[in-house]
Amino acid sequence: MERIDDNTWEVPMEGAMRVPGRIFASENLLELMKKDRTLTQVRNVACLPGIIKASFAMPDAHQGYGFSIGGVAAFDFNEGIVSPGGVGYDINCSVRLIRTDFTVKEVIEKRTEILDAVFKSVPPGVGKKGNSPFGADALPEILEKGSGWIVDQGFGRRSDIDRTEENGCMDADNEAISDKAKKRGASQVGTLGSGNHFFELQAVEKIFDEKIAKTFGFTGPDQAVVMVHCGSRGLGHQVASDYIKQMEQKYGIEGLPDRELIHAPIQSELGQAYFKAMGGAANFGFANKQIITHHIREAFEKILGSSDSMDVVYDVCHNIAKKELHRVDGRSRMVCVHRKGATRSFGPGREEVPSVYRSVGQPVLIPGSMGTASYVLVGTKEAEQKSFGSTAHGAGRVMSRSQAIQTYDGEEVVKDLAKKGIEVKGTSFRGIAEETYQAYKDVDEVVRVSDEVGLGKMVVKLRPIGVIKG
């Protein structure tokens, strides 16, 4: 591997690779990647038809299914492919940040009440039914219209939509989504889910860029904010499974470096169907978070008297494929960017960036693991040039769940976090042990590398004060 600069490494072309691999990592982070199949997966992705420039790994990359998690690849929109494994099972697993004018002290005083209220109105955990009025009948609207439709029904503000990636609605076709997927999603609108999904009360810890922080709605280190991390639930998982199966049947797995890299030409019937089903699942994810936002505001109204100040800062996708225009070798090309465990990081000027942020660049939301910091970055022109406008998405696991539960006890983890000033409410102690912060990479280093490479510049650091773990 060739070192390009402090935090950039090139994996040279070999075998069937059509482009080189490009890794953005410090020496430490690279060592972690070498311990699992991350680099092999970067090479495998480089073999896919229509891939442009390079197969990328973001600083938090680790072994995934087909693509590494933290893998980014762009394909020519006419000649290239789309791969469900390049998006992931949890389509539009994403993060939303909501600002408030409440002080950290005000929120801490009512913390237990807020966590209890949200725990009730936004059920976390496996197989839980949501409290929204939207069931199977509403699915066609939700799948094709996304969170805007939810706002139209009275659950949110117009500005919520303006401050959501894709304005909360991707191109989608209800017919491209199976009944099975719809049955899995019908009762899950407004649920948090499980695994690494969470609701977090956070405090602004540090501001790195005053001007941009102000543009994003941050006022100072005394400010409380709210972060939600969840996705498209069982519906999205089923869409991914359905299309992986269909693509295997249609195209076969022969010649693939890895079975999970099954794909279809973007312009083929199946490729287009997947793209529109994925869009529908993404819309389900946006709508889900819109309902959750409504319940969070309700809880604050009831407990702290008002939710007027609680504007959405932004809502970013972490698992998605997008049709985007990029400059490649001096000319504009329409490409399909797969971001699997990666965040879009567009700089100033691009029309996809909400008008309120267009002069500075989009907010990039990078959550840490339970009990560690989260960050808000700003997208850059440099990211557009270096990584098709992408950066990291979080900490990334370093320890398996089974190892985590053997090493850590859930009740101890809760006590440990309480000592650090963090109240945790979960559905099971085992689930909390599985997600303990020691099982994840150091998010501080991931963000530092992103900042140094220029893929996303640090704006604000947030520290957790209350957590609901799915």
C-alpha span between 306 and 315 (Å, rounded): 22
DSSP string over 396-448: -BSS-HHHHHHH--HHHHHHHHHHTT-EEEES-HHHHHHT-GGGB--HHHHHH
Closest Cα to residue 387, out of 61, 12, 13?
Answer: 61
C-alpha span between 236 and 185 (Å, rounded): 8
DSSP string over 30-56: HHHHHTTTHHHHHHHHTTSTTEEEEEE
The secondary element (H helix, E strand) that includes residue 158 is: helix 158-162
Radius of gyration for the chain, computed over Cα atoms and rounded to the nearest angstrom: 21
* Active-site annotation holds for 393: yes
User: Contact positions toward another protein, by CB under 8 A?
Assistant: 36, 62-66, 69, 89-90, 125-129, 180, 183-188, 193-195, 233-234, 237-238, 240-241, 244, 248, 259-260, 397-403, 427-431, 434, 470
Minimum Å distance from CB 41 to another protein? 11
Minimum Å distance from CB 431 to another protein? 4
CA angle 275/266/75 to nearest 5° reads 105
Minimum Å distance from CB 408 to another protein? 13
Given the residues 62, 197, 263, 393, the one annotated as active site: 393
If the CB atoms of residues 41 and 164 are measured against another protein, the closer one turns out to be 41
Minimum Å distance from CB 75 to another protein? 22
If the CB atoms of residues 206 and 430 are measured against another protein, the closer one turns out to be 430
Minimum Å distance from CB 34 to another protein? 13
DSSP bridge pairs for 20: none
DSSP bridge pairs for 454: none
Catalytic residue set: 393
